[in-house]
């Protein structure tokens, strides 16, 4: 399997995406942001379709679109008084509809869009891999720099406010990093399935680990196992890599659930 250059690049991409999703997924689960992750990831479809229609990098336009949506959700959620879940629904449906309209307007866009919806990691180029590495290292470095205030905010928002933490700025920073991670992972599992790699390994880690350090390490380990194990299984079974990565993550979650139930 690893004799092929495209599989070597796919596994390298799997390591990068798995590590980044494992770290960010820890915060997503801890802050209960799974639904907002779905909204941002699906909203990226509008940006990807725009890039394909204009003939520019879909990952750049998708990333910019996801970032705008993430910041829009954060601002509208805090100022509208409607509740964040309602605001997510508005942005999610609007961005998805925008992507569908653009895809229908451009000839050939629909076929190309399919690869971004469900991932096409076997087509990753060396240049894209280098971009993934730069983006992944940047996201992880930013998350580690914000580790203490983000943990403070996750465990008790009111006390964090009382101690002078800039809650809204921390919220927006985390959502911006979430948008960046979604774009990084699009090539591996696609817009529709990236949420599985963001949430499921971290949720499994939360079932098994009690201390946050162990939970973070286990989240990364399970995300890497999901990514690499899914790619290997996809090769053996000759099925879609993105779907197999997501299914591997779900299988690990149910295994962790069974272990937790047995030890309860």
Which pLDDT score, from 0 to 100, does residue 37 have? 78
pLDDT cut 70: percent of the chain above it: 95
- Checking if the pLDDT of 250 tops 90, the result is yes
Predicted confidence band at 252 (pLDDT cuts at 50, 70, 90)? very high
Written as one string, the DSSP assignment of 116-167 is HHH--GGG--HHHHHHHHHHHHHHHHHHHHTHHHHHHHHH-HHHHHHTT--H
pLDDT reported for residue 203: 92
| Residue 106: other Cβ atoms inside 10 A | 16
Q: Which long-range contacts (CB under 8 A, 24 or more apart) does 258-264 make?
A: 259/207, 259/208, 260/207, 260/208
Is pLDDT above 90 for 2?
no
Which whole number is the average pLDDT over 230-236?
A: 91
Span 144-189, pLDDT tens digits: 888 888 888 877 777 777 777 787 788 888 888 888 888 888 777 7
Q: State the CATH architecture for 5-257.
A: Orthogonal Bundle (1.10)
105 compared with 173, residue with greater pLDDT: 173
The model's pLDDT over 49-102, given as tens digits with 9 standing for 90+, comes to 888 888 888 888 888 888 888 888 878 766 766 777 788 888 878 888 888 888
Residue 108 has pLDDT above 70, yes or no: no
pLDDT reading at 192 higher than 80: no
Asked whether 41 and 182 are in contact (CB, 8 A), the reply is: yes
pLDDT surpassing 80 at residue 226: yes
Residue 32 has phi, psi (to 5 degrees) of: 55, 55
Both structure tokens of 44 = 């990226």
Q: Residues 15-64: pLDDT tens digits?
A: 988 899 999 989 888 888 887 877 788 888 888 888 888 888 888 888 88
Q: Which residue has the tokens 């962790």?
A: 256
The domain segmentation of the chain, as residue ranges, is 5-257
Query: Average of pLDDT values for 227-241?
Result: 90
Residue 220 pLDDT grade (very low, low, confident, very high; cuts 50, 70, 90)? very high
The pTM is what? Answer: 0.85
Does 106 have pLDDT greater than 70?
no
Interior angle at CA 27, CA 159 and CA 180, nearest 5: 125
């Amino acid at each position: 399997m690893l004799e092929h250059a495209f599989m070597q690049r796919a596994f390298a991409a799997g390591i990068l995406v798995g590590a980044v999703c494992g770290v960010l997924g820890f915060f997503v689960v801890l802050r209960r942001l799974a639904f907002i992750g779905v909204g941002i990831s699906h909203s990226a479809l509008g940006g990807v379709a725009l890039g394909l229609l204009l003939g520019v990098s879909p990952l750049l336009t998708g990333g910019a679109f996801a970032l705008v949506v993430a910041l829009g959700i954060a601002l509208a959620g805090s100022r509208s008084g409607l509740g964040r879940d309602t605001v997510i629904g508005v942005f999610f449906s609007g961005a998805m509809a925008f992507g569908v309209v653009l895809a229908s307007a451009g000839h050939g866009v629909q076929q190309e869009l399919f690869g971004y919806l469900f991932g096409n990691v076997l087509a990753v180029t060396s240049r894209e891999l280098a971009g993934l590495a730069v983006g992944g290292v940047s996201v992880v470095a930013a998350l580690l720099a914000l580790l203490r205030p983000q943990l403070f905010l996750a465990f008790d928002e009111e006390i964090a406010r009382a101690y002078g933490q800039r809650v809204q700025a921390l919220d927006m920073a985390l959502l911006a990093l979430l948008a960046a991670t979604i774009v990084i992972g699009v090539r591996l599992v696609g817009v529709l399935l990236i949420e599985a790699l963001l949430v499921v390994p971290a949720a499994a880690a939360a079932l098994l680990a009690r201390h946050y350090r162990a939970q973070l390490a286990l989240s990364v380990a399970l995300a890497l196992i999901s990514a690499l194990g899914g790619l290997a299984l996809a090769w053996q079974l000759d099925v879609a890599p993105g779907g197999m990565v997501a299914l591997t993550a779900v299988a690990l979650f149910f295994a962790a659930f069974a272990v937790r139930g047995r030890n309860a």
